[in-house]
């Protein structure tokens, strides 16, 4: 595929994961639903929130439920009616290890003390009426696939394009980014594949958002996103729709991340993996060495990521309405400030088609910046640890009308 087609693939990938952001901004704040709409939302809630064996409410007012692993929302998907839960991948790749120069956030640090689900259950954030109102707004917005970036969307990434990618890894630096209403700032690692008109993608990372006061309304959260067709009909964030099969009882999608980096001080990172099981084709999400869950291969077409991906990306993205200055990305500082001041993703690795973990060759990774006056990306490719392959990225924002 030529360089122009590579750019089209990159742009459509960004379009797919940013659709919900553009949709929300274009709709504005919806008025309070009518009584009939409320009744319909309540019916949907009864279908989505499965009976809990145990529940917890955090200090932030978030409710987590312990759901029977075999009765979770994923199995409402028509393609997963007869799906057998896989508790772990059949084979785990042996990733290359690096020296640790910052503090790692472990699964045990994600939830406050006292939250513990029993065996045979998974932990899930309870869906609220506000969550459903947000989903309804997305359905009401049309979207035309094109080869232009959505207005107000900016990114600074390191991208890898090859014919066969079956896994990616990265240690994502965590920052408590403050954003205004209708803005988003995120750090992401992703895979994508398929024809440009039917792009499939999976991304994971952290997100700070005020696009909707009910979507990650407090500080920084772990997030996931998937789509099988460029978000035309499939996919969602976290578990806001059937599809992702949760297996962890300790790591809920959308969980608040409370260990964050300090400018010029202690740095926190989280080790994330997206790995395709060669035996089943399922895409596993692994946090800090623990299996969180997976997207079954049946959710994706053979031309998408069901039979490997062909694109991987690491870096930052932001969104803001055109009339407002764009928010900070990463730490809010440019890459040249270096470790402890600029945001980074370290330990970049890929799994090739044979299932072997590789440090990408220098020439295979390219950086992309849509608004270099506000955000930059710097690819690090030293020969010695700890920065063998990494990206520093981010910036103070302030772009208006782009």
- Least confident window among 73-77, 116-120, 355-359: 355-359
Candidates 175, 178, 184; CA nearest to 209 is 184
Tell which phi-psi region holds residue 382, choosing left (phi > 0), alpha (psi between -120 and 50) or beta. Answer: beta
Does a structural domain hold residue 400? no
CA 175 to chain centre: 15
Does a structural domain hold residue 110? yes
What's the pLDDT at 203?
93
Does a structural domain hold residue 274? yes
Number of domains in the chain: 1
Q: What is the mean pLDDT of the chain?
A: 84
Does a structural domain hold residue 401? no
Handedness of CA 289, 291, 292, 297 (dihedral sign): positive
Tell me which residue has tokens 């090739």. Answer: 352
- Least confident window among 74-78, 109-113, 196-200, 347-351: 196-200
Does a structural domain hold residue 64? yes
- Biggest CA–CA distance in the chain, Å, is 63
Beta strand 268-276 with 103-104: parallel, antiparallel or unpaired? parallel
| % of the chain at pLDDT higher than 70 | 84
Does a structural domain hold residue 322? yes
**Domain span holding position 323:** 3-394
What is the mean predicted confidence (pLDDT) over 103-113?
90
Which positions ≥6 away from 110 have C-beta within 8 Å?
A: 222, 250, 251, 252, 255, 256, 257
What are the DSSP calls for 43-106, one per residue? HHHHHHSPPEEEEEE-TTS-EEEEEEGGGSGGGGSGGGTTPPPPSS-S----PPP----SEEPP
Does a structural domain hold residue 15? yes
Does a structural domain hold residue 402? no
For Cα atoms 248, 131, 22, give the angle at the middle one, nearest 5 degrees.
105
Handedness of CA 195, 253, 123, 39 (dihedral sign): negative
| pLDDT exceeds 70 at position 11 | no
| pLDDT exceeds 50 at position 48 | yes
């Amino acid at each position: 595929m030529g360089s122009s087609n590579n750019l089209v693939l990159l742009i459509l990938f960004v379009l797919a994961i940013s659709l919900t952001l553009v949709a929300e901004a274009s709709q504005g704040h919806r008025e309070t639903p009518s009584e009939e709409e409320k009744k319909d939302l309540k019916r949907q809630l009864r279908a989505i929130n499965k009976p809990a064996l145990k529940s917890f409410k955090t200090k932030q007012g978030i409710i987590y439920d312990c759901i029977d692993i075999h009765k979770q929302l994923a199995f409402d998907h028509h393609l997963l009616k007869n799906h057998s839960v896989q508790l772990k991948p059949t084979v785990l790749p042996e990733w290359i290890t690096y020296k640790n120069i910052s503090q790692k956030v472990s699964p045990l640090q994600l939830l406050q003390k006292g939250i513990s689900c029993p065996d045979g259950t998974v932990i899930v954030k309870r869906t609220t009426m506000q969550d459903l109102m947000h989903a309804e707004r997305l359905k009401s917005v049309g979207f035309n696939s094109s080869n232009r970036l959505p207005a107000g969307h900016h990114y600074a990434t390191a991208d890898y394009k090859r014919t066969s990618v079956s896994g990616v890894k990265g240690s994502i630096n965590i920052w408590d980014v403050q954003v205004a209403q209708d803005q988003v700032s995120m750090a992401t690692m992703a895979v994508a594949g398929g024809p440009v008109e039917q792009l499939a993608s999976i991304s994971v990372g952290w997100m700070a958002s005020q696009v909707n006061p009910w979507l990650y309304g407090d500080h920084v959260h772990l997030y996931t996103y998937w789509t099988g067709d460029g978000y035309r009909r499939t996919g969602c964030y976290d578990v806001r729709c059937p599809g992702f099969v949760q297996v962890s009882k300790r790591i809920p999608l959308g969980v608040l991340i409370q260990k964050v980096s300090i400018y010029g001080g202690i740095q926190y990172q989280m080790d994330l993996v997206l790995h395709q099981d060669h035996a089943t084709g399922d895409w596993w999400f692994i946090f800090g060495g623990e299996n969180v869950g997976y997207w079954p291969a049946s959710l994706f077409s053979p031309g998408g990521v069901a039979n490997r991906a062909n694109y991987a990306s690491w870096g930052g993205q932001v969104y803001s309405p055109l009339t407002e200055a764009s928010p900070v990305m990463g730490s809010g500082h440019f890459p040249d400030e270096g470790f402890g001041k600029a945001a980074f993703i370290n330990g970049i690795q890929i799994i090739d088609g044979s299932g072997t973990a590789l440090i990408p060759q220098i020439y295979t990774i390219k950086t992309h910046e849509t608004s270099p006056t506000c955000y930059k990306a710097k690819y690090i490719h030293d020969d010695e640890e700890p920065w063998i392959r990494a990206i520093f990225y981010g910036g103070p924002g302030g772009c208006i009308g782009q």
